[in-house]
Chain A
Amino acid sequence: MRILIIEDNLPIANAVRTMLEARKFAVDVATDGIAGLDHLLRETYDAAVVDVVLPGKTGFEIVREARAEDVHTPVLMLTARDAVEDRVRGLDSGADDYLIKPFVEEELIARVNALLRRGDKPISAVATAGKLTVDTGSREARYDGLALELGTTEFRLLEFLARNANIAFSRAQLLARVWDYDFEGSSNIVDVYVSQLRRKLRLAGGRDVIETVWGVGYKLSA
């Protein structure tokens, strides 16, 4: 497993290298944005740990440009700031996860391992179902060519349904697969999100895209 670190703070870069090498990962370090993007585009990595504030190019720009070049190496963003805008911008730019500095070592390793697991089963960045396209690279969803304005969870739910079009899922299954919760008891959070998605799809001209399957749950028909 080969991991790229893009971080300009040398003590931190070396410390992260030590942490990852102790887990038997092969590690490369780039200390500015331009060299970092260059590495990411030329070499093959299983994951990258990218700082947000970098000389040359920001972490956001690196991820966006890499995704535009069709490089889908899973990226963990490191951010010093805990600002809401940063988190949203990080995930919008195509990063897969983020971690706020300073972090606990176990947390870093857990996040990197989660990214690697996700990378094991490569999925195409664009899911298409009928007139619906969901692009996880650029984080864009379109119906009949019209862009849909979606929140993070709405996007994840629509992506999941689009990838598994024509399959009916129960609410509990959706909770487990989309929300990552093994949740006991009932919840109508799924219904709330489905009705939001339906409203947004209707605005783009899509009727009955997400169907209610009586006694089961929901499915996206294509």
Chain B
Amino acid sequence: MIARLTTVYTAIFAAVLAGISFYAYWLIGGQYRGLLAPALDTPEGQNGYTTAMGHVLVTIVAADVPVLIVVGLLAFVLARASLRPLFEAREREQQFAADAAHELRSPLATIATVAQAARLKTDPETREHLDTIARTALDASALIGDLLTLAREPRPGLLQREPVDLAHVVTTCAREFDARATAANIELRVRAGGAIVNGDERRLRELTRNLLENALRHASHTIVLECGGDATAAYLRVRDDGDGIAPALRGQLFQRFAGDDANGHGLGLSIAHWIANAHDGELELEKGASVPGASFVAKLPRLS
């Protein structure tokens, strides 16, 4: 950020300086030619003119270079000074978000835990109410966690990375989802090809789970979950055979709360996108006119 601003400032100034210098050179050249006009036709005159203009050029460059260096330094200092409050404000904001999330989650943790303990010794009707309380508190806490994640820039420093085989991630998530898919009368087809990435396994499972949740809400009969890779990149794809994504929605698909359904809170795809980005990868909606439904593919750099 600071480097970019410094470069831009310096480049603009360098362009202006070059313009002025060229103009000065041209102006001085004109003056000399006017003064030397009678002698300019002789070889000596011509020679003198060339030498003089050479000196002029050296002088101009000698004056420009230090100015440019000073301006570059000044630009750097200025950029840093003007950006620092912004960085600090951003940091304070993040800290505030983290603190607020923590403060909100502790009472939710108490609510969820106490409600779950209370349901162990009560009649069935009250148990149902307590279940609702516990589930709502757990959902709210998960939502706060998601918002906190999205408030941060996706970067690898926020991950706990180790070599992970996407095939493991895929098979584990498939096993988790299989019962739910069967209950919804949807076939979950899995093709797990080995592809090792330097990733945070817990986060990669979250990405896969979010894509599967989304697919489960939209699929008519089948969901295909697959992963694999070539020499440089690994991919993880979740495809459903539902109605697909309306063209109007495609542009803002990964934005927060862009979800079109009442079930999800609309952060699942944003989180999946965030996780792919944090792994220096990307998450895309594949454009395939021939297949119905939506196909999401996460492309991640493969471990070399």
Contacts and interface: CB of A to CB of B under 8 A. Distances in A.
Nearest to A78: B109
Given A101-B109, A186-B194, A16 B138 contact: no
A138 to B, nearest CB: 20
Given A15-B117, A189-B164, A102 B137 contact: yes
A14 interface: yes
A11 interface: yes
A118 interface: no
A110 interface: no
Interface string A10-26: 01101110110010000
A105 interface: yes
Contacts of B36: none
B113 A183 contact: no
B159 interface: yes
B160 interface: yes
A81 interface: yes
Residue picked from A82, A102, A152, most chain B C-beta under 10 Å: A102
B168 A102 contact: no
Nearest to A20: B117
Contact of B163 (A16, A88, A192): A192
B229 to A, nearest CB: 11
A88 B202 CA distance: 13
Interface residues of A, number: 35
A183 B114 contact: no
B4 interface: no
B102 interface: yes
A149 to B, nearest CB: 13
Nearest to B116: A105
A192 B303 contact: yes
A140 to B, nearest CB: 19
A139 interface: no
Contact of A185 (B110, B113, B121, B194): B194
B178 interface: no
B248 interface: no
A113 interface: no
A181 B109 CA distance: 31
B117 A16 contact: yes
Interface string B90-119: 000000000000100110111111101110
A76 to B, nearest CB: 14
A44 interface: no
9 contacts: A11-B110, A15-B118, A82-B145, A84-B158, A101-B113, A153-B162, A183-B168, A192-B196, A193-B163
Interface of B: 102, 105-106, 108-114, 116-118, 120-121, 137-138, 141, 145, 158-160, 162-165, 167-168, 171-172, 192-194, 196, 200, 303
Interface of A: 9, 11-12, 14-16, 18-19, 22, 80-82, 84, 87-88, 101-105, 151-153, 179, 181, 183-189, 192-193, 196
Given A18-B118, A102-B109, 17 more contacts: A11-B113, A15-B114, A16-B117, A19-B117, A84-B158, A84-B159, A101-B106, A101-B113, A102-B113, A102-B137, A103-B112, A104-B138, A153-B162, A153-B163, A183-B168, A185-B192, A185-B193
